[in-house]
Amino acid sequence: MNIMCLNGWGGTLHDRLLPYLKATQPQILCLQEVVHSPETDKDCLTYRDGDHVLPQRANFFREVCAALPDHTAVFCPAAQGVLWDGDRPVPSQWGLATFVHAALPIVGQVQGFVHKSYSPDGYGEHPRSRNAHGVRVYAPARKRFVSVTHMHGLRDLRGKMDTPERSEQARRLLDLSDQLTEPGDLKIICGDFNVEPDSETIRTLQASGLTELVAHTGFTSTRSSFYKKPGRFADYMLISDLSAVREFQVVETPEVSDHRPLVLEL
């Protein structure tokens, strides 16, 4: 059984990412920064936030669904704002999504907010609404239940330092995972946390009995060459039982985002 966690960068590198997903077929894909614009058939729109201007795949969620046709797909919006088609605003939802192969029965789900709540009338002021989603599946080959919960952590314009909001976010994420997980389950928490490896967020999750795999296995970056800013960590994966890990990788190539995929083989 394999689990992939990735910030999809709004589909910026869709021409690389979609073939990669088709080829690898992760059994569980935890995908952050997902765009869903059901009112348009446009391929690309533009996100504008002051000087922050980015191309966005207008229907990135649909495109990933098409790349993984044998998966159950759940889109979890954190906010609805607008993207731009030239000077024309287009309503668009932004959030995260989870894809689970049909061979893995989904026997439980949890969805909730780790910061603020759903923003229906714009993306809002920074730090913006953030949510999390988790699935509990039965792995027939292992004869074991596995819970996987992921989030896209707060982006603070000041940096990746510890803040009261990030501390509360970590506690809420752990609470959501605990709601989903039953005794005896293998528990996994992952995502783009937007913090450093020595952050209070990681310490809070580790204090619950989880092991963080990126630092534990010696990886020194979760960012690709497309990320030009300092600070090479953002993405993390934690697990409750190290003995269940067959292999863990932070994938350097192909580069399919400004983040690297985290891939766990159980």
Tokens of 214: 């990126």
Residue pLDDT, tens place only, 143-180: 999 999 999 999 988 889 999 999 999 999 999 999 99
Tokens of 65: 């669904």
Q: How far apart are CA 226 and CA 261, in angstroms?
A: 14
- Cβ–Cβ contacts within 10 Å for residue 107, how many? 12
Mean pLDDT of 65-71: 98
Q: What is the percent of the chain with per-residue pLDDT over 70, rounded to a whole number?
A: 100
* Helices and strands of the chain, counted as H and E runs: 5, 14
pTM for the whole structure? 0.97
Tokens of 241: 């039982």
Q: How far apart are CA 185 and CA 183, in angstroms?
A: 6
Q: What is the percent of the chain with per-residue pLDDT over 90, rounded to a whole number?
A: 92
The band of 95, judged by pLDDT with boundaries at 50, 70 and 90, is: very high
pLDDT for residue 208: 98
The band of 81, judged by pLDDT with boundaries at 50, 70 and 90, is: very high
Asked if pLDDT for residue 49 goes beyond 90, the answer is no
CATH number of 2-265: 3.60.10.10
Asked if pLDDT for residue 19 goes beyond 90, the answer is yes
Q: In terms of Cα–Cα distance, which of 36, 80, 79 is closest to 56?
A: 36
Residue pLDDT, tens place only, 202-261: 999 999 999 999 999 999 999 999 999 988 999 999 999 999 999 999 999 999 999 999
Tokens of 82: 């607008």
